[in-house]
Structure 1
């Protein structure tokens, strides 16, 4: 396999040999999130192996991993396809995610150290840098890391694991939720309210901001599901 020193998780060149599994998983996940591989689309191994510069064995391992995340479906005698969710599926998952993150927000407000809250501020400021630069994919990744970190800082392992399972299935949906300048600006403003409430340890304001943010997430995507 050719090695060209490219970023193992991004770019358009072939994938370097180091961290091969993570690199393939990351590239395929990005292709699904950005819509290069569309919901319901069958994934043909041959062309994809050629595109990524990898063999079938690591590609299949990566597809199995993405199936465990809920992004890919594996069908006997048919192979892999990008998982398609109905509008009802998406709305139901967002309702549960909203309840989980509201609970996490309350726990973080009550229990998190100043250093942990500062960790979220750093992520928020990084997200704003990507927003100002118009880098939608990196903005999205940092945005989602904020939500994951908020739940992680609840230090409730049952909540963390349950949230991770649903969160992974909604990656593409959450990405399209800020398509267009008005939706994107609204999502940024909601995140600003969230970090302000968290730094003030205003539990009610944080839960309200999280609830509106995730309710609006459905409104921003429902016409595109």
Structure 2
């Protein structure tokens, strides 16, 4: 079995901690504690901080350390909007290329999301759904870009929203089954926007209160 890239392990851990609210906007990342928690040396931690800064998730201040970027609600919504635009294009392509076997797999993932009560299983079904559609686009470049965008938006919202997501997913599959690329793409765009709106309601933003948001 190939050994995981240690830098990637750290990047994924910190990224998820940020987007699940475990690390708050503006919070300092203690690299010594992180190295101890992940049982790693300081080298992959430092390399991960550089990669995360390139992603715009953290900022490093000389002689002070690395801090979670001070995200605003609109920052998160903008990330989801870009994600929605690329997902829309991939879904249009998928409507042309998707196979009957992939349609069946999509319906299965929708049923699993609706049936499971465990949040982790629902999240797995959600990931499978989007991965199938992305592969069906038959565009390696779109798949790469969507993978990057998916890792740059919040995740882990277990408290609510799964029923709505399952409903959105079923609508998208039904359009794909009819080869209606325009309707499927529109449904995907609105689905991603719904997710973004849910994300900003879930996350805590110390700068701008609890006002309503629209995607």
Q: Smaller-chain TM-score range?
A: 0.7 to 0.9
1:43 is displaced (CA, Å) by 0.6
TM-score by length of 2: 0.73
| Alignment match of 2:29 (pick from 19, 30, 43) | 43
Report the Cα distance in structure 2 between the residues aligned to 1:113 and 1:75, rounded to whole angstroms: 50
Correspondences of 1:12-31 after superposition (within 5 Å): 18-19=3-4, 21=6, 22-31=8-17
Asked if 1:82 is matched to 2:68, the reply is yes
Offset, 1:66: 3.5
**What is residue 19 of structure 2 aligned with on the other side?**
33
Among 180, 190, 194, the residue aligned to 1:216: 194
What is the distance in 2 between the residues matched to 1:62 and 1:122?
36
Number of aligned residue pairs: 201
After superposition, give the CA deviation of every residue in 1:76-129 in whole Å (9 maximum; x if it has no partner). Answer: 333322233222222223222222222211110112333444554555455456
User: Structure 1: how far apart are the matches of 2:42 and 2:13?
Assistant: 15
Deviation sequence 1:20-61 (CA, Å, 0-9, x none): 614434433333333222232111011222222222112223
Q: Larger RCO: Structure 1 or Structure 2 (Cα < 8 Å, ≥ 6 residues apart)?
A: 2
- 1:152-207 deviations in Å (ceiling 9; x for gaps): 4323345344434433221x2x444xx533x2321222122222332343324422
CA contact (8 A) 1:71 1:83 kept: yes
Root-mean-square deviation (Å): 3.1
Q: 1:65 aligns with which of 40, 43, 51?
A: 51
Residue number in structure 2 paired with 1:189: 167
For residues 20 and 159 of structure 1, what CA distance do their matches in structure 2 show?
24
- Unaligned ranges ≥5, structure 1: 1-17
Structure 2: 5+ residue stretches without partners = 206-215
Are 1:108 and 1:154, in contact at CA under 8 Å, matched by a contact in 2?
A: yes
Query: Matches of 2:35 and 2:83 in 1, distance apart?
Result: 35
Counterpart residue number, 2:208: none
Task: Assess if the C-alpha contact under 8 Å between 1:70 and 1:169 holds in 2.
Answer: no
1:169 aligned to which of 137, 143, 152: 152
